[in-house]
Structure 1
Amino acid sequence: MKKNYRIWIYLSLVIAIIATIGPFIWMFLTSIKTYEEAIKIPPSILPEITQWINYKIVLDKFPFIQLYFNTFVVVLGVVVGQIIVSSLAAYAFARLEFPFKKILFVIVLSLLMIPGQIFLIPHYNIMIALKSTNTLRALIIPGLFNVFGVFLLRQFFMGIPKELDEAAMIDGCNRFQIYYKIIMPLAKPGLVALAIVTSLNTWKSLMWPIIVNRSMEKMTLSAGLAFLIGEHTTYYEQVMAGAVISVLPMIVIFIFFQKQIVEGIASTGIKG
């Protein structure tokens, strides 16, 4: 009975793995096909003619060095901003006592139920007021606050014993010193998890960069590659080649830091 149970578990895991990596394999195989093979119905899995020139065509069409630079700057700015803002808010909800704290936290969490598209127009109006349209600032500022980050770190902070705060206060530390000298170092797994999740979400962000920026010099990778979709004809093999180039850094980061992601997410359930 146990043997059959294990077989079903392994079979389920294999199916999950195939479902996860299947799209990436299909994306790569399509990127080395000809245009005729890429649009053929029924589709072929393996390319009959390997065509690596698709990568050269895409690299010649777009300023990938500029797009990569813009993307890294935006990701770094959003990650640093979210860690600072989210950790301060999470520390307040986890450690400080103030009127209506629970009600305010519920209100903050309720923002998770609101589709992000609703905030596009307010964000755009704010960027116009700040004279930041068509700049990298416009891609960073709206991402500085994230409700999920506040929830993640708040749950992590609540798992840290409050006795450490009391001991630090006896030694003369104030609240801010407790925050950055005790809480933040102990919350490193949660901070790393938030940084990686934020990096992935920012890297693949598409709608907002296209709306707020107009020139290719201010685009990120995902937004720049959207211009591969033609009005009348789309060369899918080139689209897939561009997607492979853009997604590789995130795959590498996820492979190296997947342990920290799992630890950080799992730690949120320690104390609610």
Structure 2
Amino acid sequence: MAAQKQDNWSSEAYQNSASFVPKLATKVMQWLDPQKDDVILDLGCGGTLSSPRYSTQQSTYHHPDGVLDLQIGQVLSQGSGTLHGIDGSPAMIEASKKATAETGLQGKCTFEVLDATELLSHPSLPNGTFTKVFSNAAMHWILRPPARRETFFRGVRDALAPGGRFVFEMGGLGNVCEVRAALLSAIGRRIGLAKTLEVEPWFFPDEKWAREMVEVTVGGMEVERVEREWRPTDADTGGIEGWVRLMAKQFFEALPEGEREGCIREVVDVLEVVCAKPGGGYMFSYVRLRAVVRKV
């Protein structure tokens, strides 16, 4: 029997330290432009999850307590469209299912635990059936293993119907550079930089990389629109420490257990100086890469 993959996510911790992720998705949602008859596949749907509180009367894409998939579901409920969300985290899938049940959208939004790099071989996702594939704040995790990047994009291409569009937003080159520097320095001093880079869970590419992967390496798709935006983002209620403990958990797991808390404290102390805002609070230097890709 294969060993069960560790789930590094908690929906409660996400609400405390990263609820701003779906709240800042206004632009990529505008690019997605969901229509009532769309058949949508959401990759890494945990990245669209915000607070479980949701008003079914709310239809705008920037509702402060919204869940993006449920907002999309409200549009789909006006027609024949459906949304299927996948995520590698069982905890995030359960939270998504619960939020959907509370709003009566089970018939429009379904969810399952699935690695997004396994689209090519998954029988429940028939090829060529989705008018749109969507991903928000997930691909910088999904694409971390270099060997799985091409497979991921081939799966997206094959899932799309002819003329269908893949709309995504992810961390781009330069994302949270101050956090990466603090982590690589503190952990690298303990286990070496090379080993630290091996356990780093993120991949932050630029526009050129995305275009070459889609149009040249994989083919059958073309980039209609792509941009990279610096978007300074205030820390959530969990502050610097909450973000570091949640998002950088895999870094610290490479250390002996007895050294982890001291290293976390070192990283947090540095970042609370570097990221401090003069008027109070903290800011992360988020850089977002977003694109619209069409299957040709």
Q: Provide TM-score, normalisation by structure 2.
A: 0.19
Structure with the larger RCO, 1 or 2 (CA within 8 Å, 6+ apart): 1
| Rg (Cα) greater in structure | 1
Length-normalised TM-score, structure 1: 0.21
More strand by share: 2
Q: Which has the higher helix share?
A: 1
